[in-house]
Amino acid sequence: MTVHPATMKERAAEALHNDFLREAVKITTDKFFAGKALAQRSLGDWEAWRERGRAIRAHVLAHLDYYLGQLIDQVKSRGGKVHLCETAEDAVQVIVDIARARNARSVIKSKSMVTEEIQLNKALEAIGVRAVETDLGEYIIQLAHETPSHIIAPAIHKTKKDVAELFSQVAGKPIKDDTDTLTNFARQKLREEFLTGDIGITGCNFAVAETGSVALFTNEGNGRMVTTLPPVHVVVMGMERVVPTFEDLEVMMNLLPRSGTGQKLTSYVTVITGPRREGEVDGPEEFHLVIVDNGRSRILRDPEFREALQCIRCGACLNVCPVYRQIGGHAYGWVYPGPIGAVITPLLTDDLDRWGDLPYASSLCAACAEACPVKIPLHDMLVRHRVRYVAAGKTPPAERMAFRLYKRAFTSPRRYRLAFKTAVTFQRPLVKDRHLSARLPGLAGWTAGRDFPAAAPKRFRDLWPGLAAEARQMGGADHE
């Protein structure tokens, strides 16, 4: 497994030296963004759709206990089993118990970020159950022992040559790196897995409370195979992924693919309601819905961050983020990359020491909030995170000292004048073409990649008397 550096800064520095990664991320996100612009125009009043999506998600969060109760009752009434799990460990144990009860040897999976979050594959492997990802991108990164680098395009950072090398290891012989050969190989290998899997595990784009149905949006058809061929289907969903009705699901079906990949609709929309019933020709004998909290209740109780649970995991905020577009997903260090990852990772993990630096991976340009189809104010949340990080005393001592000095200088006219004169005096040996080009201690983050502007020889306040006199003279000439 690839081991990444410990801090966001170190991981970002590593990513910035990967030219292919930066180019691949740029090409793919540009494609998604251009497609989104076309797809949203075809829907009509895009802002009205965004507002409708926001209202649905906000309503669900305000009444989450009611809709979860309705969902659970409906799933049970249709023969399904429901498991409420407070922690990742609880969810993993439930699924491990299901696998043991069925004497399962292999599990086939459809794409699921929640199962990445709870590290399900690792737990299944520990009890001798082979878990196989069947989404092509997920299959590739599973072979590479990596985590997804984009919410909807997990292998965005891999070249065809990389993929051919991974597939050659599986095949035990060289596999050509052309697209047709690679996809044909994956199709043949995964078909064998579909036919022999003991349990199918999927995520859940949305669960419909009024019927107890689970909806999957996919582009490869693997979701349909995973939910119908094995005798057991386990759905793992974050507790917030509920919509009240099918009418609300339709809104999400329009918003999610348009925002994520620029598609009007995903190639497949699969809706499952419980296990196979009498007279039906396919579907699982057992249906389990595993509802995962794992920190979401804590976010729900927090008025500053509750709206983060409105996220529909489309990845639109990643596609427009100037930071993500330079460093890709692995620099964020955990399951969820980009602006939404920088917001929810410290909240889900409740670990400021390890993840408190993620909210600094943003220019605060607000492009993420503008792109979000359900209007999550991500840039405001990133600022709130920084406030909490500073208040908790987690910033470096030198930074705290610098801001204390900044505060003292800028809250007193006398101290400001003194600080300005001091800076002008001491910078002189380092100024070249009005910039500080030397790599000064503490300023290397600026001067290593660009010139730091030097303090002007005179403040605007000092220039103003002369400028005002010049303006008066020009004004007098006009009157003559």
* pLDDT level of residue 235 (50, 70, 90 thresholds): very high
* pLDDT level of residue 164 (50, 70, 90 thresholds): very high
Nearest Cα residue to 315 out of 266, 359, 261: 261
pLDDT above 90: residue 7: no
Domains, the chain, ordered by start:
8-299 (3.40.50.10420), 413-475 (no CATH)
Query: What is the model's pTM?
Result: 0.88
pLDDT above 50: residue 204: yes
Nearest Cα residue to 141 out of 116, 117, 123: 116
* pLDDT level of residue 385 (50, 70, 90 thresholds): very high
Cα(348)–Cα(116) distance, rounded to whole angstroms? 13
Cα(239)–Cα(295) distance, rounded to whole angstroms? 10
Determine the average pLDDT of the residues in 373-381.
Answer: 98
Q: Between 227 and 449, where is the model more confident?
A: 227
Question: Do residues 223 and 216 lie in contact, with contact meaning Cβ atoms separated by under 8 Å?
Answer: yes
pLDDT above 70: residue 193: yes
Question: Do residues 316 and 372 lie in contact, with contact meaning Cβ atoms separated by under 8 Å?
Answer: yes
* pLDDT level of residue 264 (50, 70, 90 thresholds): very high
Determine the average pLDDT of the residues in 217-245.
Answer: 96
pLDDT of amino acid 476? 57
pLDDT of amino acid 150? 87
Q: Using one digit for the tens of pLDDT, what is the confidence trace for 103-159?
A: 999 999 998 999 999 999 999 999 999 999 999 999 999 999 988 888 888 898 888
Sheet holding 435-436, edge to edge: 431-432, 435-436, 452-453
Total residues found in the chain within this entry: 480
pLDDT of amino acid 147? 84
pLDDT above 80: residue 438: no
* pLDDT level of residue 9 (50, 70, 90 thresholds): confident
* pLDDT level of residue 50 (50, 70, 90 thresholds): very high
pLDDT of amino acid 3? 47
Task: Please give the mean pLDDT across all residues of the chain.
Answer: 92
Cα(114)–Cα(204) distance, rounded to whole angstroms? 9
According to DSSP, the residues that pair with 260 across neighbouring strands are none
Q: Using one digit for the tens of pLDDT, what is the confidence trace for 386-411?
A: 999 999 999 989 888 988 999 999 99
Q: Using one digit for the tens of pLDDT, what is the confidence trace for 53-102?
A: 999 999 999 999 999 999 999 999 999 999 999 999 999 999 999 999 99
Interacting residues of 199 by C-beta distance below 8 A, sequence separation 6+: 98, 99, 102, 104, 106, 107, 108, 230, 231, 232, 233, 234
pLDDT of amino acid 21? 87
pLDDT above 90: residue 445: no
pLDDT above 80: residue 18: yes
pLDDT of amino acid 442? 66
